[in-house]
Amino acid sequence: MPPLILTHLAPHALAPFALAQLIEPGSFTDSTTPSLLDAVLPSVLNWMLFLPALAGAICFLPGVSRASARALALLTTLGSFALSLVIAFDYYFNQNASGVAAVTLKPWIESIHANYHVGVDGLNLPLVLLTTSLSVLVVLAAWRIEKATQAFMGLFLFLLTGMLGVFVALDLFLFYLFFEVSLLPMYFLIGIWGGPRKEYAAIKFFLYTLAGSICLLFVMLGLYCLTPAGTANHVNTWQLVDSGEQDSLISESVRALFAGPSTGLHGPTPAGPYWLHAQAFFLLTLVAFLIKLPAVPFHTWLPDAHVEAPTPISMILAGVLLKMGGYGLMRVTYPLFPDAARHFWLPVATLGVVAILYGGFCALAQTDWKKLVAYSSVSHMGYVTLGLAVLTRTGFDGAYFQMIAHGITSALMFFLVGVVYDRAHHRDINRLGGLWLKFPGLGGWSLLAFCAGMGLPGLCGFVGELLVIFGTFEANGQLPGTIPGSAGSGGFMGAATILGLFASLGVVITAGYTLWMFQRVFMGPERPEAAGYAPITAREYGIMAALGMAAVLFGLVPLLVFRLTDPTFYALASVLGLN
Amino acid sequence: MIVLAQQVASHPLSPMQPLLFYVFAALTVGSAWAIVLSQNIIRMAVYLLTTLAGVAAIYFMLNAEFLAAIQLIVYAGGTLILIVFGVMLTSKNPFMQLVTSPLERALGLFIAASVAVMAMVALLNSPVPGGAAAPAAPAGHDHVARIGRALLSDYLVPFELAAVLLLVVMVAAAYMARRTQR
Amino acid sequence: MPPNTPHLPPWETLRLILPEITLALGMGAVVLTPFFGRKRDHRSTVVALAALFLALVAIVNTTHFGAATILGGMLSVDPFSQFFKALLLVFTGLVIVQWRSTARRNPRPNDTRMQDAPDLLCLLLGASLGMALMASATNLLMIFMATEAASYPSYGLAGFRKRDRLASKGALKYVVFGAASSAAMVYGMSLVYGVTGTLSLAGVALHIGEHGISPLLAMGLCGMFAGLAFKLATVPMHFWCPDVFEGAPTHVTTFLAFASKAAAICLLVRILLAFSAASSDASAADLGAMATGFAALGAVTATWANLFALRQVHIKRLLAYSSIAHAGYMTMTAAVALGLPHGVGSPNTVASAILFYLLTYAFMNLGAFTVAAVIIQRTGAEDIRHYAGIAQRSPLLAGLMTLFLLSLFGMPGLGGFIAKVWLAMTLSGAGTMGFVLIAVLLVNTLVSLYYYLRPVYHMYFTRDDGQRPAFAAAPASLAILLVSALLLLWTGLSPGAADRMTRDFATLAPPLADASGTPGMGALKDPGQDDTNRRRAPAAPRRRATFR
């Protein structure tokens, strides 16, 4: 067993920080009477989803000026954000057990039982909020883009619809549609507004992520065809939530087909008819989403894409697009194939730890500031892989929180890099220095951002990493083969413990490259060329402040996220048999 | 000779029939070889004539007089003359030598040999229903009338399609041959 | 009336082939237009479009007849064939419109000149006629004649730029390959006839069902399918395709890329479904082997074409390889028709998947080639590396080209994706082989993304040296493009209606028609009993060679 103190530091041990606990969910309204809001919520969600696409189409009309395109984009993202807040508040105060809210369910392609099925639950709502809020800041960050502004804003708004669609889709086919469609605007945004090697980066990004999508599509087709035609399973293949039972994320009967052998209380049960398929499908969907996440060894597109992408696009890429990978794992891969996930936990967890360490070491070696931040993303997303792989409740909470936290901090870091790049016109860490003297405000916010990324307690990066590492220790002795050679039994130095220790080492490496970078860029004497740097505008400070304060807020009150996710995660835990 | 063949063939039990068949088959195949091996284009045309005539003779032996006649009229009479005239009118030297490279020759030989082997193996391993003897012609039987009736009843659509095809080919040929007005 | 008495088929039969008759009459009318008045190009275009329209009306009139095999088993007129014919005629009409609207004001020596309009239109109509009959043919002789009727005009069309060396090279390659494959086809058919004693497809299928496939019959079938493979441009009969597509005028390329392959795939589906319908335990293994062969053929074709397409820089060559790849995907799917053991699954899923694929492929192909034609018309650029700056000069065209290319690739949200999903769904019915084929399909799709994005890459990402003037498509071209784009978006985002339609039309006439069928529709004769059939068979090679 892991040390007692670690197991006691479960998520709720952080409750003393929880201002949110003062306001109990469901305390405001009587949940038995449906409010007027409930009736309009589905349309609120649909408007939130498609308003950006509509505005994006308007941006492409001839005769739209740069200024009006900017204003339209800002208004649209603000509107989308406001609508998502409406949904979130309603969900926060009116949530029932673990239900899905704001659901629209309409038949779409009847011959393959695909539905237009969107809605929010604990699993996607925080990510939706992250997306809509971040998009407002991204539009502000892109305010000074002069090259084909209308097209930029239009494509960005399309991208926003694509990203939101991935999160709110509750039908696998619809999910896939948005998953691929969101690639296209990104391809153009990198390819047209990017740096010197933008074409290479854009096509690499597209091909890599598309390879993942193809794996996903193969699994989708396989799932559909293996379930016997004419049965409810077949009809429900694409359902990502079970519309009948509120406490299950995926149709129980579909999952039974793909179940593995188990040794339950009532004696061993044989594997389901498609257990081998389930293993293959698990690995394929895993690859699909690990490419997006990205995890080592599928990560090579990320540094290229980040280095070439313009600042606002880097922000959205790191802040939201990578989260699609983690979200897909939690929404599709793990709920569909829990037994396969248990079977393969060790390789997947190892991949996570390798990503943490490898990403960290790569970041140590970089001299390009943006590439450093990109590799730090790889390292941080490794915690997501690890947290999911160990199949503990704490690990899942941690992985999810890590995604939100990384969404905030990485967007802020990329923005800071962009602010400096706009002035210095290079990102070479060795040629920067003394920026603190020139821009103390920038230095302050940077310190906050990098500390948050480093996982300093009280800032958002801390919670996720801590929970993932705890979750890993908790898993010790509870997963097959934790100690090689003695399957099932635990021990203090089981495989999970070793992985957890290595993951903790990642925190040290992060501190290393962060401090090293901070010292080179901000400390030391002011460089002569810094005299000509333009002052930092109020717009830029505003963006930094918004993201920085969010990093503090979520670091102090992580329950803001957990209150939304908890009910759904309870359901997920029962499905997955989490420890 | 062909008339003789027909007379012989009209007696199915005649011992001459297989002999004649082998003679004409050898003629056909031998001159086909000669076409391939020859290097002079006019010689090739002449060998082609004997090949076609050999095929026509086999048609006669199978009681397909109409077909045999068509074979002689259209191919030996029409197409071959066309080829010869075409060669004479277009090429600078009608007696030019066509030389094939050894590699092409080997490749062609290989492909032909493998197809032949495959065909022989397939033929020897397959039952051929009713392929042993040519059906004896009933008395008072008129091939041309029967073919004509079939063409205008059962095979009306392919027959009419052939007419349409001729129109298309004529249009295309006329277009290709037409001098471009500048 | 005794058998074999020459007679005009009754009106009930004739009205079923009225579309083909209309096309044939239209051809004649087009050829005659130069003799009436001076404006031969306008007049002949109007006549051709009118013939297409009337034929389309005639098809619409036949659709409620259900399925019937007519004219002594020569042709099957059924929803499947009529859907394809309607699509083909609409497509041909749009190709003619595309040609008129993308013609240069100051034609270059190689362009199709307006005074040659009657020749071009006659050949186009003739090819359409042959292709329409290919989709209906149910007799080996008819199959051969229809294939030739589709091929000869295509040879002429391929060499239409007769002053162009490239075009002549392509056309010559086309003719030589075509002649060789026709020879193979007719030789194969003669072997099939020799073994089975019948020319009717139903009879051949029945023979296979009873006796399996003997080596000799297998050889005959190989030869027969080699002819079809040539029309489909599958490996190894594909070498003509890129050269012909590059050398031919763009409108001809547009036409050939869709029409010739679509007709061949319809014919292939019809043949294979006939075989599978008459299959029995005796022939299951042989048909399974044949299915594996076709699946391998399709898979190799698609892979080969996609790998070769990666290096292409000429837009028409690129799209040529793309069309070979698409033919490969469809061949793979057609193979499933055979692989399905009788009684399991419904053969009509194959037909409906193919129809849906053809529907979307027709329009994405038309769209992509039309944009290419407009670009050639306005800027002369055929090399995609010269596409730089087109996104600035004509944002709408660049956007539409992107849309069509992405649909060809199979981007979700566009018709091409749904079409591929339908193919995959059909393939999945074939067990393990099906899943292997799905994997091949998906990996090929991934590979194809690279070359479909290359024109996009050059249009959007490559910097243009100078400020060259903006340009736009002519109204008629723009109309074609917008219609195609809307159709792709419609089939991609809301495929329900199109799916229902293709499913409704995916009915083939039963290959073994009942002798006491609908009055006036000649039912199939009992194969092997017909003495005339036996005598007719050797006549076939003569016909081919006559026109050589």
pLDDT tens-place string over residues A404-426: 999 999 999 999 999 999 888 88
To the nearest whole percent, how much of chain A has pLDDT over 90? Answer: 45
A41: confidence class by pLDDT, cuts 50, 70, 90: confident
List of long-range contacts for C401-404, beta carbons under 8 Å, 24+ apart:
C401/C368, C401/C371, C401/C372, C401/C455, C401/C456, C401/C459, C402/C456, C402/C459, C402/C460, C403/C367, C403/C485, C403/C488, C404/C364, C404/C367, C404/C368, C404/C371, C404/C484, C404/C485, C404/C488
| Domain identity same for B16 and B80 | yes
Instruction: Say if residues C77 and C67 touch (Cβ distance below 8 Å).
Output: yes
Residues A383-401 have pLDDT tens digits of 999 999 988 889 999 999 9
Q: How far is Cα C254 from Cα C477, in angstroms, rounded to an integer?
A: 13
| Domain identity same for B100 and B149 | no
Q: How far is Cα A512 from Cα A450, in angstroms, rounded to an integer?
A: 11
Asked, for residue B131, whether it belongs to a domain, the answer is no
Q: Do B172 and C538 touch (CB under 8 A)?
A: no
| Domain identity same for B33 and B113 | yes
| Domain identity same for B120 and B152 | no
| Domain identity same for B147 and B120 | no
Distance from the Cα of C159 to chain B's closest Cα (Å) equals 8
- Which residue has tokens 């392609």? A109
Average pLDDT in the A55-63 region?
91
Q: Do C425 and A110 touch (CB under 8 A)?
A: no
Residues C91-121 have pLDDT tens digits of 999 999 999 888 766 666 666 677 788 889 9
Give whole-number Cα distances, A326 to A48, A285, A385, C192, in Å. Answer: 22, 12, 8, 59
Q: How far is Cα C379 from Cα C387, in angstroms, rounded to an integer?
A: 9
Structure-token pair, residue C522: 């000649």
Asked, for residue A466, whether it belongs to a domain, the answer is yes
3-state secondary structure of B74: helix
| Domain identity same for B112 and B158 | no
Residues B164-181 have pLDDT tens digits of 999 999 999 888 888 765
Chain C hits for A280, CB-CB cut-off 8 Å, are none
Check whether A250 has a pLDDT greater than 50: yes
Size of chain C in residues: 548
pLDDT score at C93 = 94
Count of CB atoms situated within 10 Å of the CB of C105: 5
Encoded amino acid at C314, one letter: H
Q: How far is Cα A183 from Cα A170, in angstroms, rounded to an integer?
A: 19
From C5, C119, C543, residue closest to B162, measured CB to CB: C543
Asked, for residue A207, whether it belongs to a domain, the answer is no
Distance between the two ends of chain A, CA-based, in angstroms? 14
CB < 8 Å from C in window 28-67 of B? 59, 64, 67
B122 vs A31, more confident: B122
Asked, for residue B130, whether it belongs to a domain, the answer is no
Asked, for residue B61, whether it belongs to a domain, the answer is yes
Q: In a 10 Å sphere around its CB, with 0-12 CB exposed, 13-18 middle and 19+ buried, how is residue C150 labelled?
A: buried
Query: For an interface test with C, which of A112, A205, A285 has the most C Cβ atoms less than 10 Å from its Cβ?
Result: A112
Q: Do C195 and B162 touch (CB under 8 A)?
A: no
Instruction: Say if residues A354 and A322 touch (Cβ distance below 8 Å).
Output: no
Question: Considering only CA atoms, which of A210, A212, A236 is closest in space to residue A223?
Answer: A236
Distance from the Cα of C443 to chain B's closest Cα (Å) equals 34
pLDDT score at B90 = 73
Average pLDDT in the A174-195 region?
91
Chain A hits for C442, CB-CB cut-off 8 Å, are 214, 217-218
pLDDT score at C209 = 85
Average pLDDT in the A450-468 region?
90
Residues A290-308 have pLDDT tens digits of 999 888 889 999 999 999 9
Asked, for residue A405, whether it belongs to a domain, the answer is yes
Beta-carbon contacts of C426 under 8 Å, excluding residues fewer than 6 positions away, are C333, C336, C349, C350, C353
Question: Considering only CA atoms, which of A224, A211, A158, A214 is closest in space to residue A186?
Answer: A158
Beta-carbon contacts of B20 under 8 Å, excluding residues fewer than 6 positions away, are B5, B8, B9, B57, B61
Q: Do A225 and C429 touch (CB under 8 A)?
A: yes
B2: confidence class by pLDDT, cuts 50, 70, 90: low
Residues A503-526 have pLDDT tens digits of 999 989 999 999 999 988 888 888
From C4, C119, C129, residue closest to B175, measured CB to CB: C119
Residue B68 is part of which domain span?
1-124
Asked, for residue A142, whether it belongs to a domain, the answer is no
Residues C441-496 have pLDDT tens digits of 999 999 999 999 999 988 888 876 667 788 888 888 999 999 999 999 999 998 88
pLDDT score at C534 = 33
C-alpha torsion sign, points A419, A422, A426, A430? negative
Check whether A32 has a pLDDT greater than 80: no
Q: Do C413 and A218 touch (CB under 8 A)?
A: no
Asked, for residue B133, whether it belongs to a domain, the answer is no
3-state secondary structure of C67: coil
Asked, for residue A119, whether it belongs to a domain, the answer is no
Asked, for residue A49, whether it belongs to a domain, the answer is no
Chains that touch B (3 or more CB pairs under 8 A): C
pLDDT score at A83 = 94
Count of CB atoms situated within 10 Å of the CB of A343: 20
B168 vs A493, more confident: B168
Q: Flag whether C touches A (3+ CB pairs, 8 A cutoff).
A: yes
3-state secondary structure of A118: strand
Residues B38-90 have pLDDT tens digits of 877 788 888 988 999 999 998 888 888 888 888 888 888 888 888 888 877 77
A532: confidence class by pLDDT, cuts 50, 70, 90: confident
Number of structural domains chain A divides into: 1
Domain's final residue, options B124, B156, B172: B124
Asked, for residue B44, whether it belongs to a domain, the answer is yes
Least confident of A77-91, A105-119, A509-523, C35-49: C35-49
Strand partners, A263: A268
| Domain identity same for B7 and B94 | yes
Can you give the residue ranges of every domain in chain C? 11-546
Number of structural domains chain B divides into: 2
Structure-token pair, residue A455: 């996982």
| Domain identity same for B5 and B92 | yes
pLDDT score at C514 = 36
Least confident of A205-209, A288-292, B34-38, C66-70: C66-70
Least confident of A22-26, A562-566, B22-26, C63-67: A22-26
Q: How far is Cα A419 from Cα A406, in angstroms, rounded to an integer?
A: 19
H/E segment holding residue A441: helix A440-454
ipTM, 2 dp:
0.88
Residues A263-276 have pLDDT tens digits of 555 556 777 778 88
**Residue B24 contacts C, CB cutoff 8 Å:** no
Average pLDDT in the B84-112 region?
77
- Give the angle subtended at the CA of A543 by the CAs of A542 and A545, to the nearest 5°: 65
**Residue A245 contacts C, CB cutoff 8 Å:** no
Phi, psi of A486, deg, nearest 5: -130, 80
A22 vs B26, more confident: B26
Q: What is the CATH number of the domain that holds B117?
A: 1.20.120.1200
Cis-peptide, bond into residue A294, ω within 30° of zero: yes
pLDDT score at B76 = 80
**Residue B168 contacts C, CB cutoff 8 Å:** yes
| Domain identity same for B177 and B96 | no
| Domain identity same for B153 and B95 | no
Average pLDDT in the A81-90 region?
91
Alpha helices (H) along A169-299: 172-181, 183-193, 198-226, 232-235, 252-257, 275-292
The rounded mean pLDDT for chain A is 84
| Domain identity same for B88 and B116 | yes
User: Which ranges of chain C have pLDDT less than 50?
Assistant: 1, 342-345, 513-548
| Domain identity same for B109 and B152 | no
Residue A444 is part of which domain span?
1-17+344-579
pLDDT score at C540 = 34
Check whether A534 has a pLDDT greater than 50: yes
Q: Do A109 and C438 touch (CB under 8 A)?
A: no
**Residue B75 contacts C, CB cutoff 8 Å:** yes
